[in-house]
Amino acid sequence: MTDTPSPAATARRLMRAADRATLATAQEGWPYASLVLTALDLEARPLLLLSALAEHTKNLRRDRRASLLFDGTAGRDDPLTGPRVTVLGEIAELADPELLARFVRRHPSAERYAGFGDFRLYRLEPSRAHLVAGFGRIEWIEARDLLSAPAPALAAAEADILAHMNTDHAATIDLYAQRLLGLAGEGWRLTGVDPEGVDLRRGGCVARLDFRAPVGDAEGVRAELVRLAKIARGTG
């Protein structure tokens, strides 16, 4: 029997797999919803790259409270049977070159405008989240449960891990996508690694490959990637 993931783990998995969300801000007392691209830091805090000219950014200057809806219902005959999570919190500007680089790896097209004077990196600090994982699976999740444990050693090693994998093990990454995730095509790349898995991208398609258990450093990632490669090759 397979253990059912906790509500927090289910929510993080959905958030980490998504590359976009619906951002709700307050505009003169009215809810204002907009589409935004997202990435997450290693602890699962959402990252946004926003223009100062956008309506949602103007709203956030007046009221930092916001929510992000991550939708995991795509491809279902009945979307209401699929998972979605709304994360509530406060959004603040963040000056962190490494996290900006993490966002741009997740969204290569953002490299064209990330340096523009009106664009800034923002991060949502969750206060709680509301998970709907299908009929009858509805949970409120507090921030202390939603976020994963800090992994500073992995954060420091992430760029080197990605460079090594994308340069020296491109064929293995394609095997991850094709044989473990059932995706077509070659040229898949890793865009991020965190304690719970790796992010992949090929053109406009993104994918998520979860680890068996959380890891905290480069050696833990290496062991998981080797294990997954053996499974993909049919030798594990």
> What string of pLDDT tens digits covers the 236 residues of the chain?
457 889 999 999 999 999 999 999 999 999 999 999 999 999 999 999 999 999 999 999 999 999 999 999 998 999 989 999 999 999 999 999 999 999 999 999 999 999 999 999 999 999 999 999 977 789 999 999 999 999 999 999 999 999 999 999 999 999 999 999 999 999 999 999 999 999 999 999 999 999 999 999 999 999 999 999 999 999 87
The terminus-to-terminus CA distance of the chain in angstroms comes to 21
Which uninterrupted H or E stretch holds 205?
strand 205-210
Q: Which two tokens stand for residue 146?
A: 């939603």
Residue 1, pLDDT score? 41
Q: Are 56 and 38 a contacting pair, CB within 8 Å?
A: no
The three-class DSSP label of residue 85 is strand
How large is the angle between the packed helices 152-168 and 218-233, nearest 10 degrees? 40
Q: Are 50 and 68 a contacting pair, CB within 8 Å?
A: no
37-96: pLDDT as tens digits: 999 999 999 999 999 999 999 999 999 999 999 999 998 999 989 999 999 999 999 999
**Domains of the chain, earliest start first:** 7-146 (2.30.110.10), 152-233 (3.20.180.10)
